[in-house]
Structure 1
Amino acid sequence: MPSKLNLMSTYALLVFIWSTTPLAIVWSVADLHSLWALALRFFIALPLAAMLMLILRTKLPLNALSIHSYVAGACSFIGSQIFTYLATAYLSSGIIALMFGLAPIITGLIGFFVFKIRLRRMQWLGMLIAVGGLGIICIGGSEHHVQPIGIALMLLSVFIYCASIFWVKKVNAPLEPMAQATGSILVSALFALCLLPFIWSYAPTEMPGARSLFGLAYAVVMASLVAMFCYFKLVKNVQATTLSLTTVLTPMIAMLVGALLNDEKITIMVFVGAAVLLTGLFVYFYQDFKASRALAQKIKAE
């Protein structure tokens, strides 16, 4: 098992990558059509992922069950990211990160309505508080690059991302994390290839600027590859509630990064709405955090 310092460093790196990825996406579309930036992300990520598989000597199974799992996983890649990239025209990077903070709540709703998973009262209360925060953001940010259509696109993106997680778990293919990720990137690249006839007229005619190239490279290397390794490593070695804290930490850091590096204005109403939404997330996870802390103290005492 990795040392505590190793896990803490991995956790910090994952939070940092997830906090800065929305800004990288916004920068990547500065000189590129949003769907071209998305397609290029997977075209570049695929050979890099294949190279990593060769280095790690990991096989890519191509049986029916594995392919089914790759398709399910691709929904959380290109299926979800299509709407995230389209939302960049309507939302700041900080708000995009904030919207992805709703993933645990949407996952809980899918579990409740589709799989009949029971939700506690505190979880319902947390959801209501988060929705109230989202409403404040929509009202308070209408004149500052926070538009309802962007909120709708991001809700769709997060819903598809969460549904993909359930789908992958239901398929339950016996795959190595690297194989699952590479297979899903392959399916995503094939889907992006199918998009080209519809976006060919928007093809870049000159080299994008340095900021766009940096954003694209960051999305490929850090968000698509490094973050994946960090995430799967933590899934195996830390408690789920500890990992879920990233949904509270990431939006706050992302909004600060966007304000500092991209001059994104945060109005008082948007700030209040974000605080209310994050409070809702904390309430949603409160009993899990409490149980996790009690378990940690019990183990320490023994």
Structure 2
Amino acid sequence: MPSKSNLMMTYALLVFIWASTPLAIVWSVSDLHLMWALVLRFFIALPIACAVLLLLKIKLPFNKIAMHSYLAGSLSLIGSQVFTYAATKYLSSGIIALMFGFAPIMAGLIGRFGFQQKLLSLQWLGMAVSVVGLGIICMSGGESQHVHPIGIGLMLLSVFAYSLSIYWVKSVNAQIEPMAQATGSILFSTFAALCIVPFIWQYVPTHLPNTQSLLALIYTVLMASLLAMFCYFKLVQNIKATTLSLTTVMTPLLAMLLGALLNDEKLTITVFIGAAVLIFGLFLYFYKDFKASRLLAKKIGA
């Protein structure tokens, strides 16, 4: 079991990567067909991941349980990202990150109806407040080109796939090295990407993408597909699913700030009000966890 400080550093790194990844995705599709950007991401990531396994002398098991775990993990990669990439036509990077703030709610609902986990009244209230915040954001669609109902729908599907993957991987409980789990999930995602190729062959890149698009693609490969997945599966094995989902509460505002500073994403006041309401709903949802964490920190300090 990794130390608490090790898990905290892993958690912080994952928050940063996931806050910056939406912008990298938006930049990567600026000079590439959006599905080719996704497919190339896995085509490039797979050999690098395999090389890392060889370098670290980590075995990649292919027994029945391991294969099941890779399939479950791929749902948070290709399964979730196919909807995220499709949403780049309709949403800014900040809104994409904001939508991932719904992951805790999705995880809570999946836990409640799929695994009979109990939800408190305050959690239900938090969900309702967050949905109101999402509604306010959707109403701003006419004011800003960065918000569109189709994009919101695609991102809800993406978040559902991501949240379901957390529970699926934990329920399989394959006890695989995090890097092996990440590589196996990338392998399964690459097979899925191959199935997409015939449908997008007419859009195959005929030139080298511009520098911004190329660097962004490399970032999604090295940081989002490799390092982030290593951190993600390490945390999946060592912390609760709802606690892991809390990373997506921290990323939206940082992602919106990065989008505004680096990509000139000007969002309306309505979007910011909606975002504030949504995040307040998430705060209510996690209030018990925040309170428990503070009490634990006081006990450790004492």
Return the alpha-carbon distance in structure 2 between the equivalents of residues 142 and 160 of structure 1. Answer: 28
Is 255-264 or 287-296 further displaced after alignment? 287-296
| Aligned-residue offset at 1:228 | 2.7
Q: Which residue of 2 aligns with 1:71?
A: 71
Q: How does 1:193-204 map to 2 (within 5 A)?
A: 193-204=194-205
Q: Which residue of 2 aligns with 1:58?
A: 58
Aligned length: 300
Question: In structure 2, do the counterparts of structure 1 residues 22 and 14 end up closer, same or farther at CA, with 3 Å as the change threshold?
Answer: same
Pairwise CA RMSD of aligned residues?
2.0
Q: Deviations over 1:183-206 (max 9, x none)?
A: 010010011111111100010111
Q: Which residue of 2 aligns with 1:279?
A: 280
Tell me the TM-score normalised to structure 2 length: 0.93
Q: How does 1:133-144 map to 2 (within 5 A)?
A: 133-144=133-144
Residues 142 and 148 of structure 1 are in contact (CA less than 8 Å); yes or no, is this contact kept in structure 2? Answer: no
- Determine if the alignment matches structure 1 residue 28 to structure 2 residue 16: no
- Determine if the alignment matches structure 1 residue 129 to structure 2 residue 138: no
Q: Structure 1: 5+ residue runs without aligned partners? A: none
| Aligned-residue offset at 1:234 | 5.4
Q: Which residue of 2 aligns with 1:222?
A: 223
Q: How does 1:147-226 map to 2 (within 5 A)?
A: 147-226=148-227
- Determine if the alignment matches structure 1 residue 253 to structure 2 residue 218: no
| Aligned-residue offset at 1:299 | 3.2
- Determine if the alignment matches structure 1 residue 264 to structure 2 residue 265: yes
Question: In structure 2, do the counterparts of structure 1 residues 77 and 249 end up closer, same or farther at CA, with 3 Å as the change threshold?
Answer: same
What amino acid is aligned across from residue 296 of structure 2 in structure 1?
L
Q: Which residue of 2 aligns with 1:19?
A: 19
Q: Secondary structure at the match of 1:101?
A: helix
Q: Which residue of 2 aligns with 1:85?
A: 85
Return the alpha-carbon distance in structure 1 between the equivalents of residues 137 and 281 of structure 2. Answer: 14
Residues 141 and 149 of structure 2 are in contact (CA less than 8 Å); yes or no, is this contact kept in structure 1? Answer: no
Return the alpha-carbon distance in structure 1 between the equivalents of residues 237 and 114 of structure 2. Answer: 26
Return the alpha-carbon distance in structure 2 between the equivalents of residues 180 and 237 of structure 1. Answer: 14
Return the alpha-carbon distance in structure 2 between the equivalents of residues 236 and 167 of structure 1. Answer: 12
| Aligned-residue offset at 1:167 | 1.5
Percent of paired sites with the same residue: 68
Question: In structure 2, do the counterparts of structure 1 residues 3 and 167 end up closer, same or farther at CA, with 3 Å as the change threshold?
Answer: closer
